[in-house]
Structure 1
Amino acid sequence: MSKVAIVTGGTRGIGAAISVALKEAGHKVAANYGGNDAAAEAFTKETGIKAFKWDVSDYDACVKGIAAVEAEFGPVDIVVNNAGITRDAMLHKMTPQLWREVISTDLDSLFNMTQPLIGPMRDRGFGRIISISSINGQKGQMGQTNYSAAKAGMVGFTKALAQEVAKKGITVNVIAPGYIDTEMVQAVPPKVLESIIASIPVGRLGQADEIAHCVAFLADEKSGFITGTTLTCNGAQYIAG
């Protein structure tokens, strides 16, 4: 049955692939984005998926953005917390601003996007909350204490909320991608990228549509017994115990 989905950071990279996969699964999709108007316009023109602009680090902006989506498509049943940024620095050189920017966008956004939706989902007896973490939230990464902390925090958020809403027909899960073939990864210096690929047992980068496939699976009505889990998709680069 068709549901209404919001994908944050949904017009580029992994987010764009997720938006398309959910549309192909029959859902009505709203792709949130934060700042790149040209990319959002191109995405909508190519896919027919409408883009909605708001800052996921701002709670009030999220409330207004969700209301705009629901006014057009109806109640939101699926939220994919994909929006994220990096502001890398060794901790002894990291400023409070670099820390706060990442935590606000990557972690606070889970509260900002989920809290306004969780009550109505409970009332309707259905919901899918899926957050995109990272391999670096599982194993840590030098120079990314802010990013690793935010991505690890997603897991704790998910495990707690899953228990709160398990009897209400709502599932809450995390996907932890490894290194995916996106613009951000391709911008890594060639020698560094070569060393990254060499550390991945399957011998290649992941593809955005592979992450999107995981999201579509967890969003499906038949995935209702899977909740509170972290689904790793990293080519066996890191195997969590």
Structure 2
Amino acid sequence: MKPIYVADAFTSEPFRGNPAAVCLCGKPEDERWMQQVAAEINLPETAFLVPIEDGYDLRWFTPESEVDLGGHATLAAAYTLWHTGRLRSDQTARFITKSGVLTVDYNGVDGWMTMDYPEEVPLPANAPEALIQGLGLIPRYTGKYRQDYMVEVDSEQTVRSLKPDRQQLAAAGGRGIIVTAKAAADAPYDFVSRAFFPKAGIFEAAVSGVAHCALAPYWTRRLRKPELTGYQASKRGGIVKVAVNGSRVLLSGQAKMMLQGTLEV
């Protein structure tokens, strides 16, 4: 039997942000078993933690596959360690992952936590026709990083009102499409975004930490501000504070514990 938790990440309110499961394992588990658990739980990501000498081994699985870099599930994992007393609030959560060492610090003010992640700078790219058709618009700017496209559109309202075509976006190539715009003038945040991953089993991510690894350097340069606040305008919605630190990005968010239980397999 293994302790398992569900937390909403990048929010302080229940039923908002992005839900993730966190499974605490006493030893490394078989990949097939982890994939089956993630499919059974059927949340956007399930994090599997194994204690090791210098922190925790961390792996992420969607209901469909393992991913090399997870965002909101890392925040949920660190929050779980502090919430359950496995780490003191003054201890850094240190994770060994397929994307290197990732750390999370508890800020001690209103439950904010800060993740140290690799920067992803989107490079200018041509928008595939399937992407244009899938979004139903011509982007103001198109960039690409890793396997994802990032496009800027003309306004926050355009981001919020998008009704993309899943089949067309899936045909655009790559893994995901991040759509973003400068926030409205009276908004309490600097930029908005939505993130679509038609090939990963979750069409629209409620809040994507990994997407903000690219959004942070892009908007830092565009707006010329060292620290920014982003709002992911999905149905659930969530806030991510960002700051670029050399070749790293600091992503800050809150979390809310929703469920605690035992996995009996």
Q: TM-score, normalised by structure 2?
A: 0.28
Comparing both structures, which one devotes a greater share of its residues to strand?
2
Comparing both structures, which one devotes a greater share of its residues to helix?
1
Q: TM-score, normalised by structure 1?
A: 0.30
